[in-house]
Amino acid sequence: MVKNLPDIIENVDNFYEGNLKKYYSIVVNEAQNLENPYHNYRHMMHVVWLCYQACQFYYGTLALSRREMRNLLIAALFHDFDHPGIMGNDDLNIERAVRAFKKYIIEEDFVDQQNIISLMWATEYPYKTNSAELSLPHQIIRDADMGQCFADAWIQQVLFGLGAEWEKNHSEILEAQVPFLNNLKFLIATQWGKKTFTQQVIDDKISEVNRLKELAKKARQ
């Protein structure tokens, strides 16, 4: 059972084809967004981590091939490569990531290049295609990309990190969390996502947000 990021990168469980050591090295040595407030190293690796959890969930069901798992994890590694860390048109952000992937792609992935790129485009937000119309790997990367709000570091990442990129303060981002979370159950597309981000998990996060709002309000009084 994988317990850490190096295990995923090195593929110690032999879930997917090959390993991601070359691509990981490229990301940490070449990407210009690793220290962004939100679209940073932690976010990219968190999406990789969640995509791998999905691979574990579907392993042995024939829902995902080893090649599809590899494609999914590569797309997760690169999906926000060189993100500028500011609010803007997400299509431009994806184009930067795709350009980087094309620059650094290794020979064994040439045949699946367009598939990997299409997975990266699945994270473009707002969505242009309903998740129900997408393949399972595309649905997984979308579900994983929305999972940051449930991470242990969500307060720093979302309230302050995303706030900094959007030029909004803590209170404005906090206020937006409840509508987002209430809508999340309609956005999660996969069986893995529904079992990971259950209604109870969502309700607990909404309760946490509301309590933080109340505490912040009292502190200002």
Any idea where the domains of the chain sit in the sequence? 5-220
For tokens 């990531």, the residue is 97
Per-residue pLDDT reduced to its tens digit, 70-85: 999 999 999 999 999 9
Q: What is the pTM of this model?
A: 0.96
Q: What stretch of H or E contains 218? A: helix 199-220
| pLDDT above 80 for 218 | no
Region 202-213: mean pLDDT is: 96
Q: Which residues, 6 or more positions from 196, have their beta carbon under 8 angstroms from its beta carbon? A: 50, 53, 143, 147
* pLDDT, average across residues 42-70: 96
The single residue listed with the structure tokens 């990997």 is: 116
**Nearest of 127, 128, 147, 126 to residue 190 by alpha carbon:** 147
What is the CATH architecture of 5-220?
Answer: Orthogonal Bundle (1.10)
pLDDT band at residue 139 under the 50/70/90 scheme:
very high
What is the DSSP code (8-state) at residue 156?
I
